[in-house]
Amino acid sequence: MTAMVKAEGVHKSFGPAHILKGIDLEVAPREVFCLIGPSGSGKSTFLRCINHLEKINAGRLSVDGELVGYRQKGNKLYELKDSEVALKRRDIGMVFQRFNLFPHMTALENVMEAPVQVKGETRAVARARAGRLLDRVGLADKAANYPSQLSGGQQQRVAIARALAMEPKLMLFDEPTSALDPELVGDVLDVMRGLAEDGMTMIVVTHEMGFAREVGDALVFMDDGVVVETGHPRDVLTNPQHDRTKAFLSKVL
């Protein structure tokens, strides 16, 4: 079976700062893959490399068997044009900490926008799907509301619906609940739980250890740009093998 995501010796630097120092990992189709670790460990940078928002400096990164941002001819890698990268990025949904909704559009219009603009769908088809997706995330009654009229948790659920509107094969979540008030976190996690049950492949950067334990299929602890420990979430969280993992978990559990 082809891995949905495969990273081989992935390095990323910003100037003199070496952020990713040779990341090796595989995410299987339908897997919920959780990334944990302290701030600055490279988790979010790695997510941004997967959909080529950041270019890697060395190594190989592929999604569903195809290289991200490059094509291979013989032994050489050639960078894809921006238009080709954008075409591939359609298959990857991303949900950020900050919701990044268009403030001048209603919830329904936010969810419709990309399929119409990027895929050239008719507004009727996009509107019907947007309505179904808002219903799926529990916001059918908020379709006509603007982002400023929604709570943070509701905005994040609209953002998830918007990412799903492109019918991606992979969903990336970058600490999707970290900007939310505690009482709003559960609604967002419930939506993500539903996606997992539907078989969506997901990579989730999270501080929600309960979600990782309950929903995750694999858990990676990253620190200082390297993968320190990987395993089943329950195993890593209850019986970490590395001192760095133990020290981190002692602070967050």
Q: Which residues contact 15 (CB under 8 A, 6 or more apart)?
A: none
**What is the predicted pLDDT for the residue at 79?**
82
**What is the predicted pLDDT for the residue at 99?**
83
Alpha-carbon radius of gyration of the chain: 18
Both structure tokens of 52 = 């080529």
Please identify every stretch of the chain with a pLDDT value under 50, giving residue numbers as ranges. none
- Determine if the pTM surpasses 0.85: yes
Q: Exposed, middle or buried: residue 16 (CB in 10 Å: 0-12, 13-18, 19+)?
A: exposed
**What is the predicted pLDDT for the residue at 52?**
87
CA–CA gap between residue 65 and residue 24 (Å, rounded): 15
**What is the predicted pLDDT for the residue at 182?**
85
CA–CA gap between residue 150 and residue 126 (Å, rounded): 22
**What is the predicted pLDDT for the residue at 87?**
79
- CA-CA distances (angstroms) from residue 213 to 56, 192, 209, 217, 252? 30, 14, 6, 8, 13
Instruction: Give the number of other Cβ atoms within 10 Å of residue 237's Cβ.
Output: 22
